[in-house]
Amino acid sequence: MPELPEVETTRRGIAPHVVGRRIAQLHVYDSRLRWPVPPDLGTMIAGRTIDGLTRRSKYLLFRIGAGTLLVHLGMTGSLRVFQRPPARRTHDHVDIVLDNGTLLRYHDPRRFGAMLWVAGSPADHPLLASLGPEPFDAAFDADHFWRATRARTAAIKLALMDNGLVVGVGNIYANEALFRAGIRPATAARRVSRPRLARLVDEVRAVLTEAIAKGGSTLRDYVDASGEPGYFQLDYYVYGREGEPCRVCGTAIRHRRLGARASFYCPACQR
């Protein structure tokens, strides 16, 4: 599943090729994504210019005049740019043709993604309105985290993955950030002290920054590449390493399920 670093890498990979270009045509081959692609989307965007491409949580926001094309990659979606478009393949559901012939193509085998038109401010859209701060925003700091967790008896890992508290920290990065901060995933959120939350905020940013930097080496995969853009892997400390020795202390990494998601931790390094 594309996580925040993959979505940010997609944004960086395609932005130079689409921002400032006018949309010539839209072709929707299959509108049955998580929500249907609006039937009038072509009328809304054809002839207009893509003024900017930003990201909010795992949504890509193409600013087009006063409106916004909101794209989510779902479980298996990808967006790529072609200067010489190859023939359409299975699961290529939407093509956006730009004025210079460049093609922006949406591919999604499982069709859990979304492509929606937002006429007003995207921040007020129901999908975005209740989202918490971005992990790199100043609003996500130890004070915010501390206040938001004082009444939470649920595990700190679940708080970290709650989009109302902070967006874009998926399962892999929650596991890794908690290891790096020395906090056990199952610890009740309200029992984690403010200094330890401050450390966790720093580690969330560090692990996401490293993943985005790693994605930088794959940017060319978003333009005229054959095959799908890959999901990049860090050398994880704990994620997927049950029974293997901790990279810091050698203790066997443990696994347990928390809220139906796999959690990995080192019983010696994390308290």
Residues that bind Zn ion (CB under 5 A): 246, 248-249, 251, 266, 268-269
Answer whether 109's CB lies under 8 Å from 76's CB: yes
2 is a catalytic site residue: yes
Residue 236 Cβ vs Zn ion, minimum distance, rounded to whole Å: 13
Chain residue at closest Cβ approach to Zn ion: 246
> Of 252 and 262, which has the nearer Cβ to Zn ion?
252
Q: Give the C-alpha separation, 174 to 153, whole Å.
A: 18
Q: Measured from the CB of residue 268, what is the shortest distance to Zn ion in angstroms?
A: 5
Q: For residue 157, count CB atoms less than 10 angstroms from its CB and return exposed for 0-12, middle for 13-18, buried for 19 or more.
A: buried
Question: 108 vs 203, which CB is nearer to Zn ion?
Answer: 203
- 58 is an active site residue: yes
Q: Across the strands, what pairs with 55? A: 60
Known catalytic membership, residue 3? yes
Smallest gap from Cβ 247 to Zn ion, in A, equals: 8
Catalytic residue, candidates 11, 55, 56, 58:
58
Task: Tell me if 51 sits within 8 A of 19, measured CB to CB.
Answer: yes
Distance CA 41, CA 31 (A): 11
Q: Could you tell me the two tokens for 249?
A: 């202390």
214: annotated active-site residue: no
> Which one is catalytic: 2, 122, 135, 229?
2
Cite the active site residues: 2-3, 58, 261
